[in-house]
Structure 1
Amino acid sequence: MLTPEEYLQHVKTIFQAAGDPGRAQGQMAYMRNQFEFYGLKAPEWAALSKQIFINKGIPQGAELKTLARLCMDDEYRELNYFALEMIQKVQKKQPEEFIMFFEELITTRSWWDTVDWLAKLVGIHFRRFPQLIGPVTERWMASGNMWLQRVCLIFQLPYKEKTDAELLFGYILELKDSKAFFIQKGAGWALRQYSKTDPEAVVAFIEAHPQLAPLTKREGMKWINKKN
């Protein structure tokens, strides 16, 4: 097995060789020039990642975290994605305390693309260790970090009838005065998704709380309005 540093260099070499500098310019502009890009489309870096995992394996334990950190700290966004793709492959083998590493990753080079992906992985982890949900999300809500708070709003997106609506509604109300687009939009997204399971509850919640941000209410009612 390569060292984490050698592994990173191996991935960089492959990604750079397959990249498209012209496409990279458009990707950088789309992400507000916050990150460098090789110019790989999602299916391309996903396929390359899969082949790398087959050829080189995936590190375990401390080396997994070291490699993930190296990739997440890199200026190239596809390497950040590689870190999450790698963790996604092995996350169901990770212990309860891996939630702390998820927290670290959420707050590393944060933007909606990696944060929303991590929210999905956190949701899977919480399903394995439901005793973490209360204490961890309460701490994240109190952190003042917008991205941790967004994860608290959207980690239940795939939960459907298993959604803890009381928790979701409570956190939306706790953040109702936030001016942050990603909080208002995340709250609306969570409501819209839950409306597919319990539309009456979502309508009642929105009607009972007119002080919710217009964006949150509009997003939350989208599916219901379309259905009607």
Structure 2
Amino acid sequence: MSDLAADLMDRLTNAFEAARDPVRAVGAAAYMRDQFPFLGLTSAVRRAQARMALKGLPAPGEADLRAVALACWAREEREFQLFACDYLTRHITIPGPAFLDTTAELITTRSWWDTVDPLATHVVAGLVRRHPPLTARMDEWATEENMWLVRTAILHQLLYGPATDTGRLFAYCTAQAGHRDFFVRKAIGWALRHYARTDPQAVRAFLTAHADHMSPLSVREAAKHL
């Protein structure tokens, strides 16, 4: 672990432990189906404690980002992984295209929507935007066995707006229209609904052409504001 990562993790541990709320932790774990233990920090408290821990530290390099992310992923309490998502998002202009491999490791480890979605819509999204050849990796992820990589491929353009590669978005949704998992079917609807803010006619036409092959959940979510 780099010196910066070690220092940050020590500070973060002390800051988070000082704000621990055992009662809230029980409810937070239950909300996540008891898959992860929590310290019981609200998002506001977690981010405030993180700001204290980061105060005075230099900007990280790519190796620091990887070290911090993996160290957070090694911790049991979910707040550490949520911090890592924020930290990577804040510094997304630093890593090169090879950092996508690190992101894939995070997406497929301790996987749940609360970390996968920010990694998809901010970290992966930022990497692909800055390094366009990575779109080929998104094509691969869109047909992966791992449902979280599929969800990431579908959602990575969520905030692109007019810059969305519509052909890719629609192709990913078509390829996974019959996916067995709720989280993929939900992602299809979410991605289409969001893109409808930019081009409602394109989404309406897509649903007209493909609704018979899509799950009711995906169609319902996609058409919610049309």
TM-score when normalising by structure 2: 0.93
Deviation at 1:39, TM superposition (A): 0.7
Contact 1:154–1:190 (CA<8 Å) still a contact in 2?
yes
Is contact 1:38-1:76 (8 Å) kept? yes
CA distance in 2, matches of 1:127, 1:222: 28
Question: Helix, strand or coil: the match of 1:203?
Answer: helix
Q: Which has the higher helix share?
A: 1
Residue 139 of structure 1: aligned partner = 140
The aligned residue for residue 194 of structure 1 is: 195
Offset of residue 100 of structure 1: 1.5
Please tell me whether the aligned partners of residues 143 and 175 of structure 2 are also in contact (alpha carbons under 8 angstroms).
no
Q: Which amino acid aligns with 2:27?
A: G
| Residues 20-169 of structure 1: pairs in structure 2 closer than 5 A | 20-120=21-121, 121-133=123-135, 135-169=136-170
Deviation at 1:58?
4.8
Q: Distance in 1 between matches of 2:145 and 2:87?
A: 29
Distance 2:44 2:219 in 1: 34
Tell whether the 8 Å contact from 2:61 to 2:94 is kept in structure 1 after alignment: no
**In 2, Cα distance between the equivalents of 1:197 and 1:171?**
18
Q: Return the alpha-carbon distance in structure 1 between the equivalents of residues 225 and 117 of structure 2.
A: 20
In 2, the alpha carbon distance for the partners of 1:11 and 1:29 equals 24
In the alignment of these two chains, the number of paired residues is 223
Listed one character per residue, the Cα deviations across residues 11-59 of structure 1 (whole Å, up to 9, x for unaligned) are 1221011121111111000000011111110011111112211134454
Cα pair 1:58 1:64 within 8 Å, conserved: no
Question: Equivalent residue for 1:17?
Answer: 18
Q: Deviations over 1:171-214 (max 9, x none)?
A: 11111121211000000001101111111111111111111000
How big is the shift at 1:10? 2.9
Unaligned runs of 5+ in 1: none
Cα drift, residue 93 of structure 1: 1.5
Shift of 1:165: 1.1
Structure 2: give runs of 5+ residues left out of the alignment. none
- Cα distance, 1:82–1:43 mapped onto 2, change above 3 Å: same
C-alpha deviations, 1:46-103, integer Å up to 9, x for none? 1111221113445433233122101112110001112122222222011122111111
Alignment partners' CA distance in 1, 2:86 and 2:116 = 13
The ranges of structure 1 where at least 4 consecutive aligned residues each deviate by more than 6 angstroms after the TM superposition are none
* RMSD value, Cα: 1.6
Aligned partner letter, 2:83: F
Q: Percent identity?
A: 39
Q: Per the alignment, in what secondary structure is the counterpart of residue 167 of structure 2?
A: helix
Q: TM-score, normalised to structure 1's length?
A: 0.92
3-state DSSP of counterpart to 1:182: helix
Asked whether the equivalents of residues 73 and 108 of structure 1 are also in contact (C-alpha less than 8 Å), the reply is no
